[in-house]
């Protein structure tokens, strides 16, 4: 595993790879406000041991990548899409299988629309259609909405930030399985300590609205696998079902009782699904 700083579009991003460079590449795109650490090392190693070159990276304003003044992001959502291309360029890869989770799944959908030649296949986890449409999808759970609207955090206090992120992770877990607080707390602490400026991750909530016209999701040509937990409180499973219906040929894998994200009890199932999908795409 090799962590390195790369430059794309005049900014520094931190990326890390696992596995043999001769193997088929898999680019992992994490959700908004989350560093690459949330693609946990054990998960990445499982994919690499399955014969894949695995690349994860820190978005702007997360981890060791470039950090902007809190509340003043100097970039747009389109820049986050282009950053994924920059990571591929830095690794000398013309294209890769791309796996996105949560808002990272939205970035991944837009990547497939804007740069189809760079995407060998898509895996969309715990996410929702990235483009507006006529569909009606259920809202987030009451518990999730209540937490988002009422939780407070002092971004200048690492202890406060840690407690907030642990509590947020608990809500995202969906409540149908035991919550491994000790493991999540250790991950959060490492993430907070590693960040250039942990307060900057708020910037992802302040990205300017863009009015760029794109083709519909029905024009996505990359073979697509949708993976969604049935207890996802942020994007109920109907969001994943909608994606699988809108993207031609997409397959849907439901994870019983799983919440939002890539949870350790599901690693084996998710890894096997990704390996099978990327072997045939």
Please write the tens of the pLDDT for every residue from 177-236: 999 999 999 999 999 999 999 999 999 988 887 767 788 999 999 999 999 999 999 999
Q: Of 83, 191, 232, 266, which is the active-site residue?
A: 232
Name the residue among 9, 196, 25, 264 with its Cα closest to residue 17.
25
For the 2-140+196-280 domain, the top CATH level (class) is alpha beta
Tens-place pLDDT, residues 27-43: 999 998 999 999 999 99
CB 206 within 8 A of CB 76: no
Q: Is residue 28 within 8 Å of 44, Cβ to Cβ? A: yes
* Tokens linked to 275: 């390996």
In this prediction, residue 134 carries a pLDDT of: 75
Active site residue 232: yes
pLDDT in tens, 116-135: 999 999 999 999 999 987 78
Give the CA distances from residue 32 to residues 101, 200, 207, in Å, rounded to whole numbers and listed in that order: 9, 12, 11
pLDDT score for 213: 79
| Res 132: pLDDT | 82
Across-strand partners of 12? 7
Q: Would you kindly state where each structural domain of the chain is located, as residue ranges? A: 2-140+196-280
pLDDT of residue 209: 72
For the chain, the three-class secondary structure string (H helix, E strand, C coil) is CEEEEEEECCEEEEEEEECCCCCCEEEEECCCCCCHHHCCHHHHHHHHHCCCEEEEECCCCCCCCCCCCCCCCCCCHHHHHHHHHHHHHHCCCCCEEEEEECHHHHHHHHHHHHCHHHEEEEEEECCCCCCCCCCCCCCCCHHHHHHHHHCCCCCCCHHHHHHHHHHHHHHHCCCCCCCCHHHHHHHHHHHHHHCCCHHHHHHHHHCCCCCCCCCCHHHCCCCEEEEEECCCCCCCHHHHHHHHHHCCCCEEEEECCCCCCCCHHHHHHHHHHHHHHHHHC
Tell me whether residue 91 is one of the annotated catalytic residues: no
How remote is the C-alpha of 270 from its chain's centroid? 14
Asked whether residue 1 carries a pLDDT value surpassing 70, the answer given is no
Give me the sign of the Cα torsion angle 222, 229, 204, 27: negative
Neighbours of 265 (CB within 10 A): 12
- The catalytic position among 91, 97, 260, 277 is 260
Cβ(31)–Cβ(103) under 8 Å?
Answer: yes
Q: Which of 35, 65, 82, 102 is catalytic?
A: 102
What does the pLDDT read at residue 276?
A: 98
Is residue 140 among the annotated active site residues?
Answer: no
Name the nearest CA neighbour of 113 among 81, 159, 68: 81
Band (281; pLDDT cuts 50, 70, 90): confident
Q: pTM here?
A: 0.96
Which residues touch 186 (CB under 8 Å, ≥6 apart)? none
- For 78, the token pair is 């389109």
Would you mind telling me the total number of residues written for the chain in this entry?
A: 281
């Amino acid at each position: 595993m090799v962590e390195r700083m790369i430059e794309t579009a005049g900014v520094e991003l931190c990326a890390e790879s696992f596995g043999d460079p001769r193997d088929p590449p898999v680019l992992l795109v994490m959700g908004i406000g989350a560093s690459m650490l949330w693609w946990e090392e054990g998960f990445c190693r499982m994919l690499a041991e399955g014969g894949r070159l695995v690349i994860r990276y820190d978005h702007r304003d997360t981890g060791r990548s470039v950090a902007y003044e809190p509340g003043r992001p100097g970039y747009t959502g389109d820049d986050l899409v282009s950053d994924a291309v920059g990571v591929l360029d830095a690794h000398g890869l013309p294209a890769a299988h791309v796996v996105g989770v949560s808002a990272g799944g939205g970035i991944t959908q837009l990547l497939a629309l804007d740069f189809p030649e760079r995407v060998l296949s898509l895996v969309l986890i715990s996410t929702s259609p990235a483009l507006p449409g006529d569909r009606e999808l259920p809202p987030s759970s009451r518990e999730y909405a209540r937490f988002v609207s009422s939780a407070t955090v002092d971004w200048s206090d690492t202890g406060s930030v840690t407690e907030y992120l642990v509590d947020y992770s608990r809500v995202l877990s969906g409540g149908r399985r035991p919550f491994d607080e000790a493991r999540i707390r250790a991950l959060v602490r490492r993430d907070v300590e590693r960040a250039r400026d942990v307060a900057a991750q708020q910037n992802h909530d302040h990205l300017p609205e863009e009015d760029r016209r794109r083709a519909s999701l029905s024009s996505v040509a990359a073979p697509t696998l949708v993976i969604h937990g049935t207890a996802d409180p942020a994007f109920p499973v109907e969001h994943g079902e909608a994606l699988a219906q809108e993207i031609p040929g997409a397959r849907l894998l439901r994870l019983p009782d799983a919440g939002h994200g890539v949870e350790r009890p599901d690693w084996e199932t998710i890894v096997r699904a990704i390996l099978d999908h990327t072997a045939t795409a």
